[in-house]
């Protein structure tokens, strides 16, 4: 079997499928090559406002109506009830101490809640990736993408005149001759192996292992801890983070009652539980639940719906993200940690960037250079922020302050993108911003010093449009539009301008004018 196309995308996670579809809509002939089949299990489920905003923009720019519907929990339920998801109103954190039940000290509890949306209707969602990725593959096929599954690629030959990929499909030789190849194979690292791209893992500070599964019958924290003061949203309808000694647990609840949960453990956190290099995942899980009784109580009645998985290190990083005729999607280039749910939003940034590059034909050398530099800087930024959070886990006040650097950066970016500008080339997580850019690295230096929380409050002040670091809030932060109006000047807007924009922020009206779908004339026609 031999195929000639303009672009090959290797890997059909949502990133590969959505980008394939965007390029097909632009008029490129795209082959999407997957080694497995759909539906299939995948991890990485919790979206954020920046991810969903990008999904809405992609929807408008390329006329992909389903992307708009899937960008808000209410629209999703109405239009795609069969594609499973979970309601995510925000980010919930509890600090647990070994051998002790969670200390309910009312408003002074070690608890942080940051709302990401003002209502369920326009809330984010956790993606049941088996369903969502399958949906996006089907949409890519409907848009004209040539989807090839069960392909075992063995070679990539990238030359001055084109790219030849070869392998086997259903026992038959398969060859793909293309002008450009995009690696969306995630940690599968197809091009990393083929091009022998050197590892950049040595510059990644974060180090964590993972034990995980999906469960039924996990109790709600609001049932386990019924006396806690109400937060800005029900604690469980969120990305739930249980911070423990040397690590943390994520717990993401889907609307069908299934919960995706996993412990990410720094080396000291793992060493505290096991000395084995290949521990029994189930035993490791049970030991952790025994040590942290309130988490144990939440999982008392739970049953896993799939085998437990264990990975001794989840980080990966390469030294290059692009070159002549090839580019890596973020998850093929680097991964740090699930903390703060950065992966999906970062992937969308890349989809938007590459979408723009391909609108004018194939990406130019300058585009690829810029893309490579941005991904490198952004991977460093995510790493510094997350490494700092791991450092701070022992002291919840410091951890909460470190988390506020993340929340200040993303809430500022979200409102600016909704109201002021939305170039996908703006850096992710404050990269390139003179105020936010240096903070994660600076905080790594200051974390253990006295006065860290005060320093964070002052450092984020020029971008703090959400009222973070206010002791009167007791770490419970709703979406507060009054604060936003008061702080209009931080966004370079007048009070009147921001008041006029409020309906867009409440999800009542789209913030961006609808962009026309690319016309036939604008399409790129390649051989």
Q: How far apart are CA 489 and CA 491, in angstroms?
A: 5
Taking alpha carbons only, the member of 189, 299, 194, 199 closest to residue 242 is 299
Start-end of H helices in 117-264: 129-142, 190-194, 221-224
E strands, 245-286, are 247-253, 259-265
DSSP letter at 363 equals: P
The rounded distance, in Å, linking the Cα atoms of 336 and 339 is 9
Candidates 7, 22, 33, 266: give the one binding ligand FAD (CB under 6 A): 33
- Give the DSSP letter of residue 491: G
Candidates 79-87, 180-188, 213-221, 395-403 — which segment interacts with ligand FAD by CB under 6 A? Answer: 180-188
Least distance in angstroms from the C-beta of 408 to ligand FAD: 19
Alpha-carbon span 181 to 184, nearest angstrom? 10
CB of 380 to ligand FAD, least distance (A): 17
Q: Which span (113-121, 335-343, 404-412, 455-463) binds ligand FAD, by CB under 6 A?
A: 335-343
460's CB contacts (< 8 A; 6+ apart) are: 404, 405, 408, 436, 439, 468, 469
Query: Which of 305, 288, 296, 307 has its CA nearest to residue 254?
Result: 305
Q: Among 381, 89, 380, which residue's Cα sits nearest to residue 240? A: 89
Contacting residue, 42, 461, 476, 485, with ligand FAD by CB under 6 A:
42
By CB under 6 A, name the one of 338, 363, 376, 388 that touches ligand FAD.
338
* Interface segment toward ligand FAD; rule CB under 6 A; list 73-81, 103-111, 337-345, 455-463: 337-345
367: left (phi over 0), alpha (psi -120 to 50) or beta: alpha
Query: Roughly how many angstroms between the first and final C-alpha of the chain, as a whole number?
Result: 19
Alpha carbons 518 and 516: distance in angstroms, whole number: 6
Q: Establish if 84 lies at the interface with ligand FAD (CB under 6 A).
A: no
| DSSP annotation of 523 | S
Largest CA distance in the chain: 67
Q: Output the smallest distance, CB 107 to ligand FAD, in A.
A: 28
* DSSP secondary structure letter of residue 118: S
User: Of 29, 35, 60, 416, which one interacts with ligand FAD (CB under 6 A)?
Assistant: 35
- Residue 341 as a binder of ligand FAD (CB under 6 A): the answer is yes
Shortest reach from residue 190's CB to ligand FAD, in Å: 4
- Binding positions for ligand FAD, 346-385, rule CB under 6 A: 347
Nearer to ligand FAD, 16 or 293 (CB): 16
Q: Applying CB under 6 A, which of residues 331, 416, 463, 487 lies at the interface with ligand FAD?
A: 331
Do residues 313 and 290 lie in contact, with contact meaning Cβ atoms separated by under 8 Å? no
Site string for ligand FAD, 309-328 (x = CB under 6 A): -----x--------------
- Sequence-separated (6 or more) residues with CB below 8 Å from residue 491: 412, 415, 416, 419, 420, 465, 498
- C-beta of 346: minimal distance to ligand FAD in Å? 7
DSSP state of 174: E
DSSP code of 258?
A: -
Closer to ligand FAD by CB, 342 or 464: give it. 342
Q: Could you say which of 44, 118, 231, 247 contacts ligand FAD (CB under 6 A)?
A: 44
In this complex, which beta carbon is closest to ligand FAD, that of residue 13 or of residue 355? 13
Q: Cβ closer to ligand FAD: 249 or 493?
A: 249
Choose between 8 and 493: whose C-beta lies nearer to ligand FAD: 8
188 touching ligand FAD, by CB under 6 A: yes
Alpha-carbon distance of 3 to 5, in angstroms, equals: 6
- The 7-26 site mask, x for binding ligand FAD (CB under 6 A), equals ---xxxxxxx----------
Q: How far is the CB of 152 from ligand FAD (least distance, A)?
A: 7
Q: Which residue is nearest to ligand FAD (CB)?
A: 44
Query: What part of residues 205-244 is at the interface with ligand FAD (CB under 6 A)?
Result: 210
Q: List residues binding ligand FAD (CB under 6 A).
A: 10-16, 33-36, 42-46, 153, 184-186, 188, 190, 210, 262, 314, 329, 331, 335, 338, 341-344, 347
């Amino acid at each position: 079997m031999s195929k000639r196309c303009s672009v090959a995308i290797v890997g059909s996670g949502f990133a590969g499928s959505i980008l394939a579809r965007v390029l097909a809509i632009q008029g490129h002939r795209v082959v999407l090559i997957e080694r497995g089949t759909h539906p299939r299990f995948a991890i990485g489920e919790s979206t954020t406002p920046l991810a969903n905003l990008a999904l809405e923009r992609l929807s408008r720019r390329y006329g992909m109506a389903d992307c708009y519907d899937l960008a808000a929990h209410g629209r999703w339920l109405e239009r795609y009830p069969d594609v499973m998801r979970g309601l995510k109103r925000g980010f919930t954190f509890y600090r647990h101490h070994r051998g002790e039940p969670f200390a309910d000290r009312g408003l002074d509890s070690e608890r942080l809640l940051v709302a990401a949306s003002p209502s369920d209707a326009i809330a984010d969602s956790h993606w049941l990736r088996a369903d969502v990725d399958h949906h996006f593959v089907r949409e890519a096929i409907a848009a004209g993408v040539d989807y090839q599954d069960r392909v075992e690629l063995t070679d990539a030959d990238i030359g001055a005149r084109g790219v030849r990929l070869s392998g086997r499909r259903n026992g038959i030789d398969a060859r793909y001759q293309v002008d450009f190849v995009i690696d969306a194979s995630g940690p599968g690292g197809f091009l990393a192996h083929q091009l022998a791209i050197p590892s950049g893992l040595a510059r990644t500070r974060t180090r964590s292992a993972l034990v995980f599964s999906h469960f039924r019958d996990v109790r709600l924290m609001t049932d386990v801890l019924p006396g806690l003061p109400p937060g800005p949203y029900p604690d469980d309808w969120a990305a739930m983070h249980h911070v423990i000694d040397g690590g943390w647990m994520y717990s993401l609840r889907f609307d069908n009652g299934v919960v995706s949960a996993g412990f990410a453990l720094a080396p000291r956190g793992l060493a505290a539980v096991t000395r084995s290099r290949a521990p029994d995942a189930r035993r490791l899980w049970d030991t952790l639940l025994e040590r942290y009784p309130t988490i144990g109580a939440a999982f008392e009645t739970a049953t896993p719906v799939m085998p437990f998985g264990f990975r001794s290190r989840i980080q990966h990083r390469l030294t290059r993200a692009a070159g002549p005729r090839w580019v890596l999607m973020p998850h093929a280039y680097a991964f740090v940690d699930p903390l703060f749910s950065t992966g999906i939003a970062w992937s969308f940034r890349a989809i938007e960037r590459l979408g723009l590059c391909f609108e004018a034909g194939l990406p130019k050398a300058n585009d690829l250079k810029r893309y490579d530099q941005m991904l490198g800087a952004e991977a460093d930024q995510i790493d510094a922020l997350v490494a700092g959070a791991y450092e701070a886990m022992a002291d919840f006040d410091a951890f909460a302050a470190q988390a506020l650097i993340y929340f200040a950066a993303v809430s500022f970016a979200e409102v600016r993108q909704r109201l002021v500008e939305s170039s996908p080339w703006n850096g992710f997580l404050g990269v390139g911003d003179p105020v936010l850019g240096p903070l994660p690295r600076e905080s790594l230096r200051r974390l253990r010093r006295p006065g860290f929380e005060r320093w964070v409050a002052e450092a984020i002040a020029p971008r703090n449009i959400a009222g973070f670091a206010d002791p009167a809030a007791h770490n419970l932060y709703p979406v507060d539009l009054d604060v936003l109006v008061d702080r209009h000047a931080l966004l370079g807007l007048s009070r009147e301008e921001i008041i006029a924009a409020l309906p867009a922020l409440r999800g009542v009206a789209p913030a961006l004018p609808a962009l026309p779908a690319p016309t036939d004339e604008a399409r790129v026609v390649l051989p």
